[in-house]
Structure 1
Amino acid sequence: MSIAQQLGELEFGFWKGTRNYYDEHLATESMAVYPDPVGALSRDEILASIDDGARWQEVELEDMAVIEAAPGMVMVTYRAKASRGDGETYQALVGSVYVKEDGEWKLAFNQQTPA
């Protein structure tokens, strides 16, 4: 499986995954920046937010690009379209940075800009 395919699967998993998924696939040191009112979150805050929120039911990731910026560090960008079971919809431009930890890609940074 290519790096692009592997990271695409990881990204999709973050949209639909459980707290355990996040715990397994977040880097030891990680952050996320989401639109207001959420703002910047540490790893622990990201994990806590998964316990509280409804997960996305339908998710489309389009125009994905993957760039290996340095050995052991990859950047991913794409456009996301998602909806919840209650009909809430969301579209964003997404940027993620992955690092290799113990031989596996882990999400170190994620930013979403509403589109």
Structure 2
Amino acid sequence: MIDLEEQGWQALSTDVEASKTFYNSVLRDDAIMLFPGGMIIEGKEKILQSLAAQPWKSFRIEEPRVISLSESAEVLVYRVTAQREDSKPYVALINSTYEISGGMWKLVLHQQTPV
């Protein structure tokens, strides 16, 4: 689970196409992402369309914890410090909920809370 989330941050640190390729494979069709400022993005297609931001220059995942909800669902909770070129560091508490679907982990819900 932690490796999958790390792969997502790595894709977001590369370029838009790498991000779209990764998230196309991991998002559930009805996934939801909740971002600071009240931004809600619902559905795989809308999330993929939103992946046009400047790539992260660096990121660090700290204190990851996995909470098992069932044999096929888990929540990953962690703190991230990430930075884009010429920007202040972004520090947030993150939770990502995954479910096994078709034998693969799929991202269902992702939420970021800045600290």
1:69 aligned residue: 69
Unaligned runs of 5+ in 2: 12-18
C-alpha distance in structure 1 between counterparts of 2:55 and 2:3, whole Å:
16
- Matching of residue 12 in structure 1 with residue 6 in structure 2: yes
TM-score where L is the length of structure 2: 0.86
C-alpha distance in structure 1 between counterparts of 2:29 and 2:46, whole Å:
13
Q: Is the 8 A contact 1:94 1:111 kept in 2?
A: yes
Unaligned runs of 5+ in 1: 1-6
- 1:9 Cα offset (Å): 1.6
Aligned pairs for 1:3-82 within 5 A: 7-17=1-11, 18-36=19-37, 39-42=39-42, 43-50=44-51, 52-82=52-82
- Matching of residue 113 in structure 1 with residue 113 in structure 2: yes
TM-score where L is the length of structure 1: 0.86
C-alpha distance in structure 2 between counterparts of 1:81 and 1:106, whole Å:
24
Would you identify which runs of 4 or more consecutive aligned residues in structure 1 move more than 3 Å? none
Equivalences, count:
107
2:85 aligned residue: 85
Question: How high is the sequence identity, in percent, across the aligned residues?
Answer: 29
- 1:71 Cα offset (Å): 2.1
1:45-102 deviation digits (Å, cap 9, x = unpaired): 211111x211212110001000111121001100000011233421100011000011
1:4-49 deviation digits (Å, cap 9, x = unpaired): xxx1121122223111111111112210100016x11012221111
Give me the CA root mean square deviation. 1.3
